[in-house]
Structure 1
Amino acid sequence: MIKKNDLFEAEITAMTAEGSGICRADGMAVFVPGTAVGDRCVVRVVKVLKKYAFGRLEELLTPSPDRTTPDCPIAGPCGGCVYRHITYEAELKIKTQRVRDALERIGGFANIPMEPILGAPSRTRYRNKCQLPIGLSKNGEMQMGFYAVNSHRIIDTHTCLLQPEVFDRAAEAFRAWQKLSGESIYDEAAHSGVLRHLYMRCGEKSGEVLVCIVANGAKLHGEDLLVKMLREAVPEITGIVLNINRERTNVVLGRELRTLWGKPTIRDTLCRLEFEISPHAFYQVNRTQAEALYNKAAEYAGLTGAETLLDLYCGTGTIGLSMASRAKKLIGAEIIPSAVENARKNAAHNHVTNAEFLCGDAKDAARILYERGERPDVIVIDPPRKGCDAAVITTIAAMRPTRVVYVSSDPATLARDLKQFTAENYNIEAVTPVDMFPGTAHVETVCLLSKLNAKQHIEVDIHMDELDLTDAEKKATYSEIKEYVLEHTGLKVSSLYIAQVKQKYGIIERENYNKPKSDDAKQPKCPPDKEKAIKEALKHFGMI
C-alpha cells in the first residue's frame, strides 16, 4: 500500500477533468499535475485517500510526444493554466475526450454524434477581463497577481499570457502609483486597509479600456495622480472608476461605483451587435470564441424566420439577441432582475424590436406563454455549471419545442441532463465541444436535441365511454383535452375534473358519466389552476 512521500516510476495514461495526469501505484489511481499522457516519470506521493492519491512530478524520465516547453514561468504555481506544457492539438484531444467520456459514462450514451471541437485561433491574450487580488508580501510590499491553487496565497504576477498586453501596462502604472501614494493594502483577516483588487475590462473590437480599483473605502489617496499615471501608461483608456466594497466577503465587486475619470462603461461588438459593458455586467471573456459558440448554437437552432425562440437562463440576452434577426419572435427568461434590465437595454440599443425579456424561471415563462396562447418552436438553454433542475427539463418538455439547443459549461452536468431529456422523448442530434478558454481545463459544449417523431412514437389512451359522444364532445376527446392542457401548462388533469368544468359551462354529459358509486361518496373538486387550464382547452376546441 502506498503512503505519503513514497517514490515510484509510472507512465501517465489519462487525464482528469481538472487537467492532472493519471497513473497507478499498487492498483490505486494517482493524480499528478503538470504531466502529459505518455510521460514516463518518477512520482512522489503527497497525499493518500481511501480510493486514490495525489502525486508530484519528481523526475521526467521519458517525455510524452505531446510535450512542449511552457511559455509561462508561473503556470505551475498559478494553476490557472493546466495545459501550457503540451501542444494545442493535444489539449483539444483531451477536451474532446472529456466530453465524450462524460456522455458515455454519466449519460450512458453510445454512438454519440460528435462534431470536431471548435479550437481557438490563439491560446494567448484572449481574455477581455482581469481580476487581480492585492495583498502584502512578507517584506511588507504590495503584491498583485493570482491566487495559488486551492489557496488565497497571491502569486505576484507582472504579466499573464491569457490577458492583453494593455492590462500589463495598466497594472504596472497602478503599482507605481501605490508606491508614490502610499495607499494601504487590504488585509483579509483583519478587514483593514484599502486596496483589494485591480479589475480591468477591454473591448476587443472597440479597443476601449476600463480600469476599476476595488477598495475598502470611498476615497483613495492621490486620485488625481492615479488618473494621470494610468492615462499616460495606457492611452487607450476610456474610463477609471472606484468600486466601493466594504463587505467581509470573497465577492470581488461591491455595489457602489464612483467614476474618477472618463466613462464607467466600455463598448464592444459581438455577432454584429454592440454591447455596453459595465464592471458588473456579464460579457463573454473570450469574444472570438463566443462568436464561434453562438454561431454553432444558431446553426443548431435552424431558424427560418417563422419561429418563436425562447432563451432560458438568458442573462443579459447575448445568445438570444444574436439569433433574433432569424426568428419571428425572441422571448428571454432570466431570474435575476438586473440581468433582465440589461437584456432589455441591449435589445433597445441594437434596435431589436421582436424581443421581450421576462423576469422569472422556466415555469414562469411557460405559464405566460400558455396564457397568451403561444408555444416556443425552439428553446435555447445556457444554465450555470450545476446544469438544469429536473423540474426545468420537465417544463421544457411540456412546452414541446421541436428543437432544444443546450449550451453547457460542464460536460458532467450536461450528460446528466441529456439523460433526462431523452427520457422525455428528445433525441441527441449533434454535439460540438468548444474551447472557450485555451490553456485551462474548461470546455464548453453545444448540443442539439430534437423532439422524437410523433408518427414513430404514439401514446394511446382510450376510454370506452368516449366512443359514444354528444355533439359537443365530438369536438375533442378527453384524451385530447388532457394532452392540450399538459402541453400548454405542464398540468395533468383527470377525466373527473374535465367533466366538472364541462358541466359548469353547460356541456351536457351522458347519464351517470363519472358519477360516484354511492350518493354519499365525496368527489374532489377541480382546483382553480386546473379549471382555468381546462377552460382554455375547451375554448381552443370550440366547445365554449
Structure 2
Amino acid sequence: MQQGDLIELTIHDLNSQGSGVGRYGNQVVFVPDTVPGDRLEVRITRLKRQYGLGKIQRMLEPSGDRRRPPCIVADKCGGCQWLQVEESLQLEIKTKEVTQALQRIGGFEDLKVEPILHGSSGLGYRNKSTYPVGRSSTGQLQAGYYRKGSHQLVNLNQCPIQDQRLNPLLSDIKQDIAANGWSIYNEAKHQGKLRHLAFRIGHHTGEILLTLITTAPDFPNLEEQAASWLAEYPALVGVCLNINDRKGNMIWGRDTRAIAGRDYVNETFVGLNLKLRPETFFQINTAVAEHLLEKILGQLELQGNETIIDAYCGVGTFTLPLAQQAKQVIGIEVLPSSVQQAQASAADNHIENVKFLVGTVEDVLPNLEDTADIVLVDPPRKGCDRRVLDTLRQSRPRQILYISCNPATLARDLKILCEAEAYTVEWVQPADFFPQTPHVECAVLLKMV
C-alpha cells in the first residue's frame, strides 16, 4: 500500500477519534465519516509505519447502520464526527470502548458494565455553544464551526445538537452585527475585534445568555444593540462582553462584564438553584448529568454521617447535591472563580456543611486533616496526577468514586488504585454526554478491600 493508492476497504469498527477502522492486508486504515459495515473505495492520503489514513472516494455498499445525517453541513462541519452513525450503534461502540479499555489497559476481566446512560434524543442537548466569527472570501459575515481538519469556517444559521431554543438567535444576531458594521477578527493577521459568539441556556429555566468575545470593548452602538436584543428576545436575560486580546486558540479572556441585563442565567440541577456565568464550566448535557448523579447517589447509599472529598469540584455541581445527604463535603478546585461560584451557590441553597479549598488536588489532598469516608475524583482527560493516586492509597477512604471523560486514563488509574488488592471495582456506569461524537464519560465506584 502506497500513498495515493485507491483500495477497496470494509470498515469493521470506529476508533476513539471517531474514524472508521478497516484492514488492508496487514495494515490498519483509518477513514473519517464511515460506519462499521461500509464497503468503500478509499484513497490513501497519508501513510505511517503502522497505519494509513484514507478518504472516501466511492461508496460500494453502505452499512445497515448508516443513516442520513440530521444536519445539512455534516459533510463539512468538524463539530460532530458520528452524525452518519445510527445512535444505537454509537451507544454500543462507546460501551465497548469502556469495556475494552478496562480489560486491555486496566487488566480487569469479567467486570459488569452497566447499560450506558443516554438522553431521549441525541440532538438538541448542548446547553452551551461557542461559535468563531469571521468573513468569507467575499466579505460576508460568518459564524459557525470549523471545517474538518482546518480553520476555515462553515457558516451556520442553526445547529441540530445545540438546544433548539438557541437557533432563532444565531441567524438574526449575525444580521444585526453585519448591519452595525462591527469589526470582525482575522485570526491569521491578529487584527479586528469580534472573535466569538457564545450562547448559554438554562436547560430547565430557558434563560439565555449571549456573550460577545472580542479583542477590545469599543463597538459603535453596542449598548443600544444589546438593549434591543433583550427587548426582542424575551428568554434573553443578559448580553455580556468578554475581552480576549491574546493570540492563539484560547477562546475566553479574563474579563467578562454585562453590557445589558445580567451576567448569569438561573438554572436548576437536581432541585438546586445555580447561577451560571458565561465562562462557567458546567456539564454540557444537563439531562444526562442529572441522570448520572441520581445513579451515583443510589450506589453510595449515604446515611448522613459521611465525610466526602470532592476533588476537581468545579462550581460544586456534584458537591452540593452530595452535601444534602452527607455530614460534610470538602471541595477542591484550582480556579478561584469556580470556588467563588460554588460558595455562592451553597449560600443560595442554604447548604452549610460544605467548604471549598483553592489549589491543585495533588497539593491540597495530601495535607487535609479530615479523614474522608468517600473521595470523588473527576480529573481532566489526562487523568489523576500520580501523587493523587498515591495519596488515595495511603489515606484509604472507604469508597472512591472516579468520574472520567477518557476510558484509557481511567483504566490506567484504576489499575494503580487496585494494586495489591487495595480496592476492588464495584460498579461501572458509562454515560453518553456527547451524542454524535466519540466522547464517552464513565463513573466507577471502588470499595476498599
SS of the residue 1:93 aligns to? helix
1:293 paired to 2:292: yes
Partner of 1:101: 100
The aligned residue for residue 386 of structure 2 is: 390
Offset at residue 404 of structure 1 (A): 0.5
Alignment of 1:310-459 (within 5 A): 310-362=309-361, 364-370=363-369, 374-423=370-419, 425-452=422-449
Quote the residue 1:273 is aligned against. 272
- What is the SS of the residue equivalent to 1:77? coil
On the 8 A contact 1:166/1:234 being kept in 2, the answer is no
State the partner residue of 1:191.
190
Structure with greater contact order relative to length (CA < 8 Å, sep ≥ 6): 2
Question: Deviation digits for residues 344-398 of structure 1, max 9, x if unmatched?
Answer: 111111111111111234455445542xxx3111111101111001110110121
In the alignment, the residues of structure 2 paired with residue 338 and residue 260 of structure 1 have an alpha-carbon distance, to the nearest angstrom, of: 20
Between Structure 1 and Structure 2, whose CA radius of gyration is higher? 1
Q: Does 1:126 align with 2:125?
A: yes
Q: Which has the higher strand share?
A: 2
Residue 356 of structure 2 aligns to which amino acid in structure 1? F
Give the superposition deviation at 1:409.
0.4
The Cα offsets for residues 130-153 of structure 1, whole Å up to 9 and x where unpaired, read as 100011111112111001223221
2:216 partner SS = coil
- Give, as a single letter, the amino acid of the residue that structure 1 aligns with 2:395: M
Aligned-residue offset at 1:225: 4.6
User: Matched residue of 2:226: which SS?
Assistant: helix
1:253 Cα offset (Å): 1.7
- Which residue matches 2:13? 14
Q: Give RMSD over aligned pairs.
A: 1.6
Task: Give, in whole Å, the separation in 2 of the partners of 1:367 and 1:214.
Answer: 39
C-alpha contact (below 8 Å) 2:362/2:385 kept by paired residues: no
Compare 215-224 and 227-236 and name the one that shifted more.
227-236
Q: Measure, in 2, the Cα distance between the counterparts of 1:366 and 1:245.
A: 33
- In structure 2, the partner of 1:28 is 27
Is 1:70 aligned with 2:69? Answer: yes
1:515-543 CA distance string (max 9 Å, x none): xxxxxxxxxxxxxxxxxxxxxxxxxxxxx
Going from structure 1 to structure 2, the CA distance change for 1:232 and 1:173 (only over 3 Å counts) comes to farther
Further displaced range: 187-196 or 397-406 = 187-196
Deviation at 1:190, TM superposition (A): 2.0
SS at structure 2 position matched to 1:178: helix
* TM-score (norm. length: structure 2): 0.96
Amino acid at match of 1:397: R
Q: CA deviation at 1:129?
A: 0.6
1:362 touches 1:396 (CA, 8 Å); kept in 2?
no
Q: Distance in 2 between matches of 1:94 and 1:68?
A: 16
| Deviation for aligned residue 1:334 | 1.6
Secondary structure, counterpart of 2:76 in structure 1:
helix
Aligned to 1:213: 212
Structure 2 Cα separation of the partners of residues 8 and 250 of structure 1: 37
Match of 1:302 in 2: 301
8 Å contact from structure 1 (residues 362, 395) kept in 2: no
Determine the C-alpha separation between the residues in 1 that align with 2:154 and 2:232: 24
Q: Counterpart of 1:510?
A: none
Q: Which runs of 5+ in 2 are unaligned?
A: none
What residue number does 2:47 align with? 48
Distance 2:259 2:379 in 1: 36
Q: Distance in 1 between matches of 2:363 and 2:44?
A: 52
User: What do the CA deviations read for 1:446-471 (whole angstroms, capped 9, x no partner)?
Assistant: 0010101xxxxxxxxxxxxxxxxxxx
Q: Is the 8 A contact 1:310 1:331 kept in 2?
A: yes
1:287 Cα offset (Å)? 0.7
Q: Which secondary structure does the structure 2 equivalent of 1:318 belong to?
A: coil
Provide the TM-score with structure 1 as the length reference: 0.80
Secondary structure of the structure 1 residue equivalent to 2:166: helix
Q: Distance in 1 between matches of 2:181 and 2:361?
A: 51
Residues 241 and 12 (structure 1 numbering): CA distance in 2 closer, same or farther, change over 3 Å? same
* CA offset digits 1:135-194 (Å, max 9, x no partner): 111111211100122322111111110112332222222211122111111111222111
**Using a 3 Å threshold, how does the CA distance of structure 1 residues 363 and 134 change in structure 2: closer, same or farther?**
closer
Which structure has the highest helix share of the two? 1
- 1:246 maps to 2:250: no
Deviations 1:47-73 (A, max 9, x none): 111110111122222221211111112
1: CA distance, partners of 2:147 / 2:231: 32
Query: 1:87: Cα distance to partner?
Result: 1.4
Corresponding letter in the other structure for 1:12: I
Contact 1:170 1:233 in 2 (8 A): no
Percent identity over the alignment?
38
In the TM superposition, what whole-angstrom CA distance separates every residue of 1:54-106 from its partner, at most 9, and x where no partner exists?
A: 11122222221211111112223212222211211111001001111111111
